[in-house]
Structures are given as structure tokens and as C-alpha cells.
């Protein structure tokens, strides 16, 4: 019981504090960037770029934000553009912070254009190279109302019971352990739309599964960032693995 509780706490901690920018769907852009007295239309440049990378940009009155962003600020990354200029060049740092004010990504850009407006915009565009396309996976796990400290204070029996309860809601299978003959993995149900497979000796997910519009078919993201699809088949989990010839092979994890 104690080992299971520690495992669940480790997974929750990793999911809350180990996020990447691409894990998020929503990014908030402030009305004014902290180190700029003049806007230089940087918010417009930033908004256009983020939308091109499939993020939902949030600005203005929070009451008009989507419910999953308005009701839980941990589902939102906060963007800021910092003036980092030197004597001869316009420089900026694009930052994304989570709800704990932790920097998830900081990317630098510089321009030789002397005009402030054009120079800062050009420098900001250079930072976008480091910004990945949005691929939200475990966003819904993060909550402000129950921090990691609160989880630690929760009785271990309650934590384990909660995990077991959510695991049984999966439409395809209620098994919690799976193996393909080489890997033995633990299934942890995050919510009704996503779950992860993890090695018993690791807190990093082997793969994250997020539901699609088709029942029991999931978008799968591996720990190295590669993506594919997976699905339930006869109570087992099947992952389509890309092959060198452009085709796919089946990696079947049997439920124990």
C-alpha cells in the first residue's frame, strides 16, 4: 500500500511540475509586457504566431475565457516578452510561466534592425523557433485547489482508492498492469479522457494516451516526443509503432 501511494504521488508530482509548453492548449497574453513602456504591437505578433502553432490565445476579460481555463488557471500558460536589449541590438526573451510562476520555456531573439518597433518584432519572431506546436496531453491533471502539499497530507488509503476508482472507469479495460513480453507497465487513469503507461521503477510516462472522437482509439505520445495512435483490442492495449519502411507494426500490451 505504501509503495503504491508513493508511486501515485510521484506521478502526480511529475505531471504537475514536469510540463512542456506543447502540453498546454491555452496561453494568456497580458495587456502590457512587464519591461516595455510601449507595446510595439508585440502582442499581435505573439498572438499570430501562437495561433499558427495551434494554441488558443487568451486575452482581455477572464470572465469570457473558456470554462476549463477560467475555472483552473493551471490549465493556462502565461506569456511575457522581456526587453533584453544591448547597446547595438534589439533583444527580447519570450517566457512562458505556469500557474506556480515557474518558467516552462524561455527563448531569446535578437535583431540588427535599429528601429524599435521593427527591431523588437523581428527579435520576437526569432524566439518562435523554440516554441513547439500545441499537443495538450495531461493538462487536466493540474489544479490549483489541490496542490502537491495537500496531496501529501491526504491519507494514503484515500490516494490509492482514488486512483483505483478512476482506473476502473476506462471504457476498454479495467486492468491496471500490462506487458508486451519485454516491458511491464502500470496504467494510471488521469481522467475520463486520458491515461498513462509507466514503468514501475520510473516516474516518467512510457506513453500518454488521449482520447480521440472514436471510442477506444487514442492519440499516443511517447516519452521521447514521438506520436502515433493506440486502441483497445480484446481488453489489451495496442500501439501502432512506425516502421522504417513507412508502415506500422503492432505493439500489443496484454492486460494482467
Q: Same structural domain for residues 175 and 108?
A: no
* Cα–Cα distance for residue pair 93/193, rounded to 1 Å: 35
* pLDDT computed for residue 144 by the predictor: 37
The CA distance from 137 to 194, in Å, is 8
pLDDT of residue 150: 44
pLDDT at position 117: 93
C-alpha dihedral sign at 151, 220, 54, 110: positive
For position 96, what pLDDT does the model report?
95
Q: What is the pLDDT of residue 34?
A: 87
Query: Same structural domain for residues 67 and 147?
Result: no
The number of folded domains in the chain is: 2
Whether residue 152 is found in the same domain as residue 91: no
Q: Which pLDDT score is estimated for 137?
A: 62
Mean pLDDT of the chain, nearest integer: 79
DSSP 218: E
Domain boundary residue, one of 106, 137, 168: 137
Which three-class secondary structure state does DSSP give residue 214? Answer: coil
Whether 50 and 12 share a structural domain: no
| Among 151, 143, 149, CA closest to 71 | 143
pLDDT at residue 175, as a whole number? 52
246 has pLDDT over 50: yes
In contact, 256 and 179? CB cutoff 8 Å: yes
Given this model, what pLDDT does residue 193 score? 85
Find the range with the poorest average confidence among 33-37, 171-175, 202-206. Answer: 171-175
CATH number for the domain harbouring residue 74: 3.30.160
- The DSSP H or E segment spanning 15 is helix 2-17
Whether 245 and 150 share a structural domain: yes
* Higher pLDDT, residue 77 or 160: 77
Tell me, yes or no, whether 162 and 80 share the same domain.
no
The residue among 49 and 147 whose pLDDT is bigger is 49
Phi-psi region of 162 (alpha: psi -120 to 50; beta: other; left: phi over 0): alpha
Same domain, 77 and 161: no
Domain residues for the domain of 182 are 2-16+140-255
- Based on the fold, state whether residues 38 and 133 are members of the same structural domain: yes
Residue 240 phi, psi dihedral angles, 5° rounding: -85, 115
Same domain, 150 and 120: no
User: Are 153 and 125 members of one domain?
Assistant: no
Average pLDDT for residues 94-101, to the nearest whole number? 92
Q: Does 65 share its domain with 173?
A: no
CA separation for the pair 213, 203 (Å, rounded): 29
CA distance 187 to 130: 32
The sign of the CA dihedral 242, 243, 249, 250 is negative
Q: What percent of the chain has pLDDT over 90?
A: 41
Note the pLDDT of residue 202: 73
Q: Any idea what DSSP says for residue 151?
A: H
76: pLDDT confidence band, cut at 50, 70 and 90? very high
Q: Which residue has the higher pLDDT, 247 or 253?
A: 253
Q: Rounded distance, CA 251 to CA 33, Å? A: 48
Q: Considering 137, 162, 197, which residue would you say is the last residue of a domain?
A: 137
Predicted confidence (pLDDT) per residue in 205-245, tens digit: 889 999 988 889 999 988 877 889 999 998 899 999 877 77
Strands lying side by side in the sheet with 26-28: 56-58, 26-28, 76-83, 90-97, 103-111
Cell 494514503 belongs to residue: 156
Evaluate if residue 192 carries a pLDDT over 70. Answer: yes
Which pLDDT tens digit goes with each residue over 8-57? 444 443 344 456 888 899 999 998 998 998 989 999 999 999 999 999 99
Shared domain check, 208 and 100: no
Single residue among 83, 107, 137 that ends a domain in this structure: 137
Q: 76-83 and 90-97: which strand pairing?
A: antiparallel
Amino acid at each position: 500500500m505504501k509503495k503504491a501511494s508513493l508511486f501515485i504521488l510521484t506521478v502526480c508530482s511529475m505531471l504537475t511540475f514536469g510540463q512542456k509548453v506543447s502540453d498546454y492548449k491555452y496561453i494568456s497574453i497580458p495587456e502590457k509586457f512587464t519591461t516595455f513602456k510601449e507595446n510595439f504591437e508585440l502582442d499581435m505578433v505573439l498572438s499570430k504566431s501562437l495561433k499558427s502553432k495551434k494554441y488558443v490565445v487568451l486575452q482581455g476579460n477572464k470572465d469570457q475565457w473558456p470554462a476549463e481555463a477560467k475555472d483552473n488557471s493551471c490549465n493556462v500558460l502565461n506569456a511575457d516578452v522581456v526587453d533584453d536589449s544591448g547597446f547595438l541590438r534589439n533583444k527580447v526573451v519570450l517566457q512562458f510561466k505556469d500557474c506556480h510562476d515557474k518558467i516552462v520555456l524561455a527563448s531569446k531573439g535578437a535583431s540588427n534592425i535599429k528601429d524599435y518597433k521593427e527591431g523588437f518584432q523581428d527579435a520576437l519572431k526569432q524566439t518562435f523557433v523554440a516554441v513547439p506546436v500545441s499537443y495538450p496531453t495531461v493538462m487536466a491533471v493540474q489544479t490549483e485547489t489541490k496542490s502537491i502539499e495537500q496531496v501529501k497530507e491526504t491519507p494514503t488509503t484515500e490516494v490509492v482508492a482514488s486512483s483505483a476508482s478512476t482506473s476502473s472507469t476506462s471504457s476498454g479495460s479495467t486492468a491496471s498492469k500490462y506487458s508486451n513480453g519485454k516491458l511491464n507497465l502500470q496504467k494510471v487513469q488521469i481522467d475520463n479522457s486520458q491515461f498513462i503507461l509507466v514503468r514501475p521503477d520510473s516516474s516518467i510516462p512510457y506513453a500518454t494516451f488521449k482520447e480521440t472522437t472514436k471510442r477506444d482509439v487514442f492519440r499516443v505520445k511517447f516519452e521521447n516526443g514521438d506520436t502515433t495512435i493506440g486502441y483497445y483490442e480484446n481488453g489489451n492495449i495496442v500501439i501502432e509503432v512506425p516502421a522504417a519502411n513507412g508502415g506500422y507494426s503492432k505493439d500489443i500490451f496484454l492486460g494482467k
